[in-house]
Structure 1
Amino acid sequence: MDKSCRNSFIILYAVVRWLLEVVDLGLDWDFYIELQHTDQQSIIQAVKLQWAILGFAIFGTVMFFSTLIVFCIKIYKKRKQENLSKSYEDVKNAISVFSFICTWFEDLPQIVLAVIVAVKSTDLIAYIQLVKAWYALAEGSLIAIIIFIELRLCCANKPNHWKRVLLICELIGITLILLGSIFLQTELYQDNFKDIYQMENAVMNLTSNATTWSTLVTSV
Structure 2
Amino acid sequence: MDNHVKTALIASLDKFAVVSGNESLQLEERLVEIFSKDLGFLEKVEEFDEAFNEYPAFEPLREVFFDLLMINFFANDVKKLEEDYLESDEWADIEEETIERGTELLNLLLYINECHDERIKPELGDFLKEFLLVEEDEFQDEFHIYEDLISNQQLVETSIEDIVSHAGMIEIAEEMEELFVPFMAFFHQPKVSEEVIADLNSFSANKEFDIAVYTLIANFNKN
Normalised by the length of structure 1, the TM-score is 0.29
Determine which structure has more spread, i.e. the larger CA radius of gyration: 1
Normalised by the length of structure 2, the TM-score is 0.29
